[in-house]
Structure 1
């Protein structure tokens, strides 16, 4: 049951992460049509312009379309039943709800007035929560003029574009969804090793008792092939049942998972469906991993069953593990410092780091047990040290989940760059770009009138080449310094839309969008990865601790018969976990902090206090969860050692 539960958790987490990765790609593909793909002028049938405006700090994507006179027909955009005529406005369901909720002077007045809005279908949206509008324009409308190509001084790739088109076959992903898949893929790689750890631990649950039984069968005449087959069939059946349960749980929880927001919002359920091939592959992968883990422990049983039966062969580790770890770490160090890495190379190095640390962990536990045993002054410490050195791989499996999660916590917690964005002095500004300084002076006069009519208190100034301390960045245009909060800013943007020549008025949200979106995606993925990593680590620790009690029931029973108090056995179990946890988890967390420090250094930012506090919270919560999981098996220890009967042993 424990092994099947571990397999179910591993399969469920992997399917969720694969679903998020593929779903993020599907969502990005659903948004590529909004960025126009230019065609030769003779083939063009329409003009398309992409613009982004903000309301309540949320992005609203506006796609303006105009037919070119005397040209052929243009197909309907994705999500629409027909190409929009002049004056027609189609909106996403979420934007329609927001238009009804907000006063017209904060949002609705930015679009042409219509009696009713059309609805954009799911085929044209990345998320049911996305705010999108498609507006039909006249060919001479400023919104589809050359000025709509994007003339702001800020990096706005993916927020504005304009071109003559003949269809909607664009391939460029907008800023709002372009980073989603890559970030989720990073989380998938980071979680793959904890899942491997959990599945591997599941295959070795009950290993000691199984070895004793199989050693007895070998001594009774069973062949190595027979015991390997028996173990493989048993492990495969348990693994398949558990993994299938996890897959069924993933299918049943799809509607719930679709409500979890990421990036532009929640998900359509079909975006998170990975398909039967992926479900079968994950179930088969977890089953194979659990089976291989169970079979790999039988080498000693097959070759030296008498030694296993007498427990005369301690599971020592060799120095080759340390040598391989040092070589791999040196290679990772040199590769990471040699220059810029591609995403694929970075993921490979990350996987190599996890793999080598998995090889290195038991060696550290073995040496730690010998050192502590040599200087132990208390019975519980001596018992813990002997268990560490006698079965370093088993002790490593108990703490490995949290050790590897420590690297994730150290890296993601400190790499949070929130509060480091530029432009914080521009929070009350609304900017309108003008073609020239003379035009800017005329626009400023109109802006004052429009803002006064809208009831917005603001100071309107013009900007030029000698003034870069505002959102215009030294370009000609108008700046409105608005008095009030977010509602007043939104009302000012709406009022100034009438004087913006092609490019909508923009605020600090527009200027900081590229950095903010990247940081938000990292934050979302890091939060999910941390939560799942610690959940996997806690599950792994709890399952392994319970299995170890069952495995060692004979040893614990003999210790109780010899007069060892139950509290000493409990203390020994806790110290058996604390000692390697402090050394190894502390080491991986420090490595994660160092990697994050290098990232922050490259981004020319410093470690912020919030990230450090988050790291401390992660360490404390992870340790408490680990101890709670181990404490959960305390009643089991009391049960298996309650009133042990003397035996021939």
Structure 2
């Protein structure tokens, strides 16, 4: 009997007729859920579904405000400017969540495909298989996300803006936008998968034996500092801009740069902090945690990037609440309604960011246990107590979390400083919102760690499934 492989087609007739490996069939055979891979396929699908649903809700709200005119509401331009700010604050983290979903369980995929490369499969075959698998999961997740979006529309439509509930119909984005979002999510998954395969196609043996650890260059810090300076100068110039459209553009660009810098500097900063922790490590848990971060600073960043975004958003939200509270006086009904809507918008932005964090952290934590399955089983076989393994897992996440939450809040404070001034930034209402969001983010990550303990229990109870 002849084995069927990517480089040995199943039949001679099939080979003569096409001359190519059966990519779709091989992808299906290798991607079929098994005892250890079912969760690996389901987890990114869940992440894509939540990403799509949240993205559609955010886009629906933005499109609703864009349709408002001065005839509908005298403050339509203000609503549109604030909605753009909310879109920038939420869409960039949502895109990051989508990218993280596309890269989930990359180690399992890279190991499998690197083995095929060593057996003789061509780089083209490996790339096509990976892109096809990732794209299929993304499309299925997006379709599920559309269903979630349709279910959530009536409930989100109960939120009042402009003195009345906005209604579910106002959040409908239309079939064209639905199709574009599915295509965008699928493209994001395909591009992320293709980029992630560069190391597999270049050095399959190094990937299979895990010999190469990714390095974070210090130029990330230099570029990040320059970008923050540019964003600060942009936001400082807003006082002299009279055109509303230009004001919206500058505000969105400045905040967007700040969020982008977080993703740029974050992995490098975690790598530096982990090196320092490794030198000071005195227990097995501390040593394993530091080595776990250094194994892949990018993966460690993905564990806490959601809280980093929330910390950044918390500063913007906190200063917004404090600024609204300073507007005291005898205002007319329209102004009071606008201030109430601003508070509502801030609350929605924070809640949406926390939903994103909950999805990102929960899925990433479960996927990390599955990706590092062999390490945890090996430690268990060596006799390491379960408590020490749990402690190392907690330190791998909670250590970087505290560092990232503070750094992200600091960057947020620097960017809102030219907009509202130091008095608003350190106002009691601002500090209260910021502290509440930071505590909530840390608590959310801690709960997700506890919630994924059963996954580790299953891994340790079935050590033969390596």
TM-score, with length taken from structure 1: 0.62
Q: Does 1:12 align with 2:53?
A: yes
Q: Does 1:174 align with 2:74?
A: yes
Q: Does 1:600 align with 2:420?
A: yes
Deviations 1:129-183 (A, max 9, x none): xxxxxxxxxxxxxxxxxxxxxxxxxxxxxxxxxxxxxxxxxxxx513x4422221
Tell me the residue number matched to 1:207. Answer: 106
Tell me the residue number matched to 1:310. Answer: 209
Structure having the higher helix fraction is: 2
Structure having the higher strand fraction is: 1
Alignment gaps of 5+ in structure 2? 1-41, 242-246
Q: CA deviation at 1:415?
A: 2.8
Mapped contact 1:415–1:597 kept (Cα < 8 A)? no
Q: CA deviation at 1:421?
A: 2.6
Q: Structure 1 residues 373 and 265, CA, compared in 2 at 3 Å: closer, same or farther?
A: same
2: distance between equivalents of 1:268 and 1:326? 43
Q: CA deviation at 1:608?
A: 3.3
Match of 1:394 among 271, 293, 299: 299
2: distance between equivalents of 1:538 and 1:570? 20
1: distance between equivalents of 2:425 and 2:273? 35
Q: Secondary structure at the match of 2:187?
A: helix
1: distance between equivalents of 2:459 and 2:388? 15
Correspondences of 1:22-33 after superposition (within 5 Å): 22-26=63-67, 28-29=68-69, 32=71
2: distance between equivalents of 1:518 and 1:205? 42
RMSD, aligned CA? 2.1
Q: Secondary structure at the match of 1:620?
A: helix
Mapped contact 1:214–1:301 kept (Cα < 8 A)? yes
Mapped contact 2:232–2:414 kept (Cα < 8 A)? no
Tell me the residue number matched to 1:636. Answer: 455
Tell me the residue number matched to 1:378. Answer: 283
Q: Structure 1 residues 597 and 359, CA, compared in 2 at 3 Å: closer, same or farther?
A: closer
Q: Secondary structure at the match of 2:182?
A: helix
Mapped contact 1:191–1:529 kept (Cα < 8 A)? yes
Correspondences of 1:256-271 after superposition (within 5 Å): 256-271=155-170
Tell me the residue number matched to 1:294. Answer: 193
Max Rg structure: 1
Number of residues of Structure 1 aligned to a counterpart in Structure 2: 418
2: distance between equivalents of 1:606 and 1:8? 36
Q: Secondary structure at the match of 1:238?
A: helix
Q: CA deviation at 1:643?
A: 5.7
Tell me the residue number matched to 1:621. Answer: 440
Q: Structure 1 residues 188 and 338, CA, compared in 2 at 3 Å: closer, same or farther?
A: closer
1: distance between equivalents of 2:151 and 2:408? 36
Tell me the residue number matched to 1:441. Answer: none
TM-score, with length taken from structure 2: 0.85
Q: Structure 1 residues 568 and 240, CA, compared in 2 at 3 Å: closer, same or farther?
A: same
Mapped contact 2:317–2:433 kept (Cα < 8 A)? no
Mapped contact 1:539–1:629 kept (Cα < 8 A)? no
Match of 1:420 among 298, 314, 326: 326
Match of 1:367 among 239, 256, 272: 272
Q: Secondary structure at the match of 1:179?
A: helix
Q: Does 1:555 align with 2:375?
A: yes
Structure 1 stretches of 4+ moved >6 Å: none
Alignment gaps of 5+ in structure 1? 33-125, 127-172, 424-507
Q: CA deviation at 1:545?
A: 0.7
Tell me the residue number matched to 2:310. Answer: 405
Q: Does 1:196 align with 2:16?
A: no
